[in-house]
Chain A
């Protein structure tokens, strides 16, 4: 009976360990691989192209969505010509409800006073990136925690979720 008790204890430890690993690895939700595509808009203002970004250890959808948004806002490394978010633009948060991701950006995105050309390319890259994730189809933009009807420079409309069909 002693060895049976030990065996049961071992099994219990194994189950708890496995559940703990699943919780840490965030293995619930849609499957996400080693890399995600992150998109940028070329300087022609129209062409949207992906590059691959390797994920870190976290694979839970919330972390991956946040990571994808930060990479899209950073844009490709500086050697690549791209339409870029204004310097200082930071992803404050990403929350996913249903198939819509709400991305809260810092006020730098609205303070730059860019034109329609830049706004279009910036947000196209962000929307393409997030909607490439299996769980997201639309992206609602907030700035400093609030919904903005439009951005001040080019007047891109932001009061409703953006999708790939917005362009």
Chain B
């Protein structure tokens, strides 16, 4: 175990408290008496630090504080006039301070600072030492200097019967050297970091016996070695970490499928972020005892119940009672689930990806026995009614297991709530909706309800109204981005080039089938002007289609995301009139491409909002995913994309339309 650090930490902390306390007594503000502050090899200079109790007050606008937070990968949010100061760590956990309240909350642990944050002018003043502790940084006094020492602050171990996953959390972006790697031992050395975790921990999990943390070195130049003792034959891999301040390793016996990168001789967490896959399987948490100075968890810790099954209580509704839940067949129109409710209640419904659907009635109690039925009628395979929660707000949950992605309509009624499960599927159904019943409730707002008319004048002139195509044989193709706007760039591929390539292939296909095609751009160029505003550029694309009276507008894009794990094809629509085109084209794309089906989705993207004809935006695949990128490098794949879109347009044109009988392809 550590030969230097524990005593240093204890003596240092005591000395710090004494020095700061003594300095505070005679004078409330002695900037000249503030010790030099060192952090990770550099001196931090603060603008107007002041002693306050056994801590140092620094302003939220202080450049020294900003430098410190930047080094640990944290950001600070404060707005004069309100009372919260929120620091977000690199691992997205938050540290909360409140003006006038000395408590500092990081996760489930709340500590008390020597003074409460206070305001002066437009600044809030924070307790620096207390903030540092919440960021896994240990304050130490050394020869009149305050050393803020980065720590390897927490260690999470998660295991199931097949594998064990260990995540190390640091104060700063983590870099390590693999100093030992034999059949029984793996040792990683973290230079520049100390640790209060310095002890041997018996894990006794699959493929991992012990974890030993050894801190050594001086207060300014600490080193921590983490050693993992594993049974012979154990697989050991590096997983992607969500934060550069984390390193995540997985251990499994031979024979267990374990996805991950080989643990390199030398690595940073950011390199692991780029190279290793995401953790494969969720495993139950088994967190080792939280180390000092601060915990691994945050105030924003998800509740222990599964996400989606716990909803906060911003406004407790009046008491209500659920007195009946009845299934009422509607013939070919589906089945009604009629929930009789006396009193007022807020409701929120969710559609899950596996066919489950539920509605929570907040502020309601169950006045009938719980039910767990398998009616298997009208597309409803399961019906469950239960008192989901009693405290702090009573919640009744009505859950359905649907035979498929059935259309579900939720309508408040005088007697309560009517949930209609349709006979047909709705592949583009909303996933969530909220509303209120009883008490003369104002009504119901679902995720896909049209926005209320807005009195705000349309910023760029009148909002375009749908208009019949004056040229029903014309399709406008919009290769996304172009010229000075390159779009996304990953894996050696550039979005603007691929969108143009696909669109040119698509134009040939459509022209061969009798359509007239106009491109918003036919070369690598901006449509409006180089380095123009997004509005000018996008409106220029819409104008081409709107002025030409095109029958359809198809915008071709390539997706990207910060995680390379995501892949697949998405087709977006916005206006109601876009939906049928989106569905038919998407069906063809999924059938032809073999990419993951990410669905038909509604979203407020500019070019599909501001075009006056059926318009869709296709995100062909993810540039940021290695598999999708490999496909996008293939001319044969790009040709298949073009053919699938053309086939989808053909399907759409041949289907009965409310207007504009198809002239091409018929």
Contact = CB atoms under 8 A, between A and B. Distances in A.
Contact of A115 (B73, B297, B303, B561): B561
A161 B604 CA distance: 11
B607 interface: yes
Which interface residue of B278, B308, B314 has the most chain A CB atoms within 10 A? Answer: B314
A57 B101 contact: yes
Interface stretch (A1-9, A11-19, A80-88): A80-88
A70 B451 contact: no
Nearest to B603: A120
Interface stretch (B17-25, B74-82, B136-144, B203-211): B74-82
Given A35-B312, A49-B308, A155-B534, A77 B301 contact: yes
Nearest to A78: B242
Contact of A153 (B86, B450, B488): B488
Contacts, number: 267
B56 to A, nearest CB: 22
Contacts of B371: none
Contacts of A107: none
Nearest to A164: B447
A29 to B, nearest CB: 11
Nearest to A100: B456
B4 interface: no
A44 B312 CA distance: 23
Nearest to A140: B456
A24 B99 CA distance: 10
B441 to A, nearest CB: 14
Majority-rule SS of B interface residues = loop
Contact of A70 (B88, B352, B460, B533): B88
A165 B603 contact: no
B253 to A, nearest CB: 24
Contacts of B98: 56-58
A166 interface: yes
A33 B393 CA distance: 11
B314 A66 contact: no
Interface in A1-56: 24, 26, 30-38, 40, 42-54, 56
B314 A154 contact: no
Contact of A74 (B92, B99, B313, B538): B92
A113 B485 CA distance: 10
A67 B86 contact: yes
Contact of A116 (B91, B449, B559, B609): B559
A167 B606 contact: no
Contacts of A42: 307
B514 to A, nearest CB: 31
A143 B487 CA distance: 20
B315 A47 contact: no
B310 A149 contact: no
Nearest to B86: A70
Contacts of A35: 312-313
A116 B619 contact: yes
A166 B353 CA distance: 21
Interface in B530-547: 533-535, 538
Which interface residue of B487, B557, B606 has the most chain A CB atoms within 10 A? Answer: B606
A139 interface: no
Interface in B311-339: 311-316
A101 interface: no
B190 to A, nearest CB: 19
A163 B572 CA distance: 18
A118 B562 contact: yes
A155 B91 CA distance: 28
Given A150-B538, A165-B449, A156 B434 contact: no
B432 interface: yes
B590 to A, nearest CB: 16
Interface residues of B, number: 98
Interface in B446-489: 446-452, 454, 456, 459-460, 485, 487-488
B448 A77 contact: no
Which interface residue of A80, A83, A152, A167 has the most chain B CB atoms within 10 A? Answer: A167
B534 A152 contact: yes
B10 interface: no
Contacts of A56: 83-84, 96-98, 101, 103, 105
Given A164-B434, A166-B451, A74 B619 contact: no
B603 A156 contact: yes
B312 A50 contact: yes
Contacts of B452: 165
A82 B474 CA distance: 41
A149 B458 CA distance: 12
Contacts of B450: 165
A154 B242 CA distance: 23
Interface stretch (B216-224, B258-266, B409-417, B594-602): B594-602
Given A150-B534, A160-B459, A76 B302 contact: yes
Interface in B404-450: 430-432, 434, 445-450
A134 interface: yes
Interface in B335-357: 350, 352-353
Contacts of A71: 86, 94, 300
A70 B79 CA distance: 11
B392 interface: yes
B91 A52 contact: no
A126 interface: no
B299 A58 contact: no
B91 A149 contact: no
Contacts of A78: 91-93, 241-243, 246
Given A67-B82, A73-B88, A152-B485, 12 more contacts: A26-B83, A49-B350, A52-B310, A58-B84, A75-B92, A78-B92, A81-B278, A84-B562, A113-B488, A157-B606, A165-B446, A165-B447
